């Protein structure tokens, strides 16, 4: 095996998290950058004393110039990709209660699976792949081939249209491994049918990370009035209706999401209403002041804090929406509240909820702690790999 010859070296005064095991090195943390001809290639990184820290993928166009592949000397070739993908699939070889549901899960979660910038979700016989780093983009076709071989998938859809690709100097594009369009179709996930457009829908087509929470919330909904705020395609609402909720309303600002939620409800034969609305405006609308209180409210908003600089405003937004929800809950009602921003840590979310309960003058207890599922594994040295957290609360 030929070894990488080029090295990055940390500045003497750099306080890089990479020294404590984090897999990223930023441009301002190294003594000098390598030339652009090395973009997308594997290089070493050493600390200020020259100690070898591992090999990783390099891109001078990105603020994150180095992403660790391994603490050992490896090459980014077919052997490495096959080994990493095989390990990623093996990590998820648990036995679910319903064998069919094993075909709906995340297969690859970026640095957590030694494949920086690669995300792969499985939907039955189709795998949706997102690639957000230059080095992995250069091996995209091979990644698709290996995933097909390891899983027997009929198709791989490359959803390379994330805005994050611009940070790596990559253009946006969507294509399939076969070169043929993937036709939208019905797929059953946890006994609910969804009309999925994996090639053109949001992100990878469906939020697999909330599957466990759909079922967790549903058990509180039988015979109850349930509000699903930021409902997207209606998963929480559909599961509530399926278990016999008395009244179900879903809200989302995206008209296409509401249309899809209505279509899903009709196809599944469940009773649920959906409205296009800005959730903040809806809660503040005085015309709803005399409406009956809700028994269950779900708050599953998009990330309010997409950057660390946006965190302060995001905290105000999370507090506001949780306060309004608490005010609209019947005594003893259930509030399921989530954050999908890795910039908001658990302590900050708890503080926001506490402040909202104080302002609402409601006594609030935690019933369940919520987290991203095991097929979205958290790398303990990388806080960014942990992004989904929440609580199921009783509001008295």
Any residues with CB less than 8 A from the CB of 142 and at least 6 apart, and which? 78, 81
Any residues with CB less than 8 A from the CB of 365 and at least 6 apart, and which? 393, 394, 396
Residue with tokens 């005085």: 286
User: Which residues make beta-bridge pairs with 95?
Assistant: none
For residues 80 and 83, give the distance between their C-alpha atoms in angstroms, rounded to a whole number. 5
The catalytic position among 45, 221, 231, 340 is 340
Query: Of 393, 378, 388, 381, which is closest to residue 109 (Cα–Cα)?
Result: 378
Are 133 and 84 within 8 A, CB to CB? no
Distances (CA, A) of 199 to 16, 124, 158, 175, 344: 38, 14, 8, 8, 30
Distances (CA, A) of 121 to 3, 7, 170: 33, 34, 21
For residues 363 and 326, give the distance between their C-alpha atoms in angstroms, rounded to a whole number. 10
Query: Of 185, 216, 225, which is closest to residue 201 (Cα–Cα)?
Result: 185
Active site residue 340: yes
| Catalytic annotation, residues | 340
């Amino acid at each position: 095996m030929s070894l990488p010859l080029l090295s990055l070296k940390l500045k003497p005064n750099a306080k890089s998290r990479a020294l404590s095991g984090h897999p990223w090195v930023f441009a301002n943390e190294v003594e000098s950058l390598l030339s652009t001809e090395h973009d997308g290639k594997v290089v070493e990184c050493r600390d200020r004393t020259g100690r070898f820290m591992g090999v990783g993928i390099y891109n001078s166009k990105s603020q994150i110039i180095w992403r660790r592949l391994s603490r050992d000397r490896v090459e980014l070739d077919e052997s490495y990709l096959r080994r990493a993908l095989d390990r990623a699939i093996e990590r998820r070889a648990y036995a679910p209660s319903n064998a069919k549901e094993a075909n709906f899960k995340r297969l690859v979660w970026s640095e957590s699976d030694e494949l920086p910038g690669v995300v792969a979700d499985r939907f039955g016989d189709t795998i949706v792949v997102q690639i957000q780093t230059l080095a992995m983009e250069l091996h995209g076709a091979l990644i698709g081939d290996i995933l097909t071989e390891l899983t027997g998938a009929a198709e791989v859809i490359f959803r390379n249209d994330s805005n994050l690709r611009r940070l790596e100097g990559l253009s946006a594009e969507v294509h399939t491994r076969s070169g043929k369009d993937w036709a939208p179709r019905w797929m059953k996930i946890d006994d609910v049918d969804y009309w999925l457009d994996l090639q053109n829908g949001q992100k990878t087509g469906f939020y697999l990370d909330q599957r466990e929470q759909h079922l967790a919330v549903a058990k509180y909904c039988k015979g109850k009035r349930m509000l699903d705020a930021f409902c997207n395609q209606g998963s929480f609402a559909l599961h509530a209706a399926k278990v016999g909720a008395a009244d179900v309303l879903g809200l989302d600002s995206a008209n296409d999401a509401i249309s899809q939620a209505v279509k899903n409800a009709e196809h599944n034969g469940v009773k649920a209403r959906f409205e296009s609305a800005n959730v903040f405006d809806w809660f503040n609308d005085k015309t709803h002041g005399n409406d009956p209180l809700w028994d269950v409210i779900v708050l599953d908003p998009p990330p309010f804090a997409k950057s660390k600089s946006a965190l302060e405003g995001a905290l105000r937004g999370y507090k506001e929406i949780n306060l309004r929800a608490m005010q609209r809950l019947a005594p003893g009602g259930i509030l399921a509240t989530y954050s999908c921003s890795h910039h908001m840590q658990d302590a900050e979310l708890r503080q926001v909820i506490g402040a909202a309960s104080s302002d609402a003058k409601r006594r609030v207890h935690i019933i369940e702690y919520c987290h991203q599922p095991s097929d979205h594994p958290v790398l303990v040295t990388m806080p960014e790999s942990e992004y989904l957290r929440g609580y199921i609360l009783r509001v008295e």
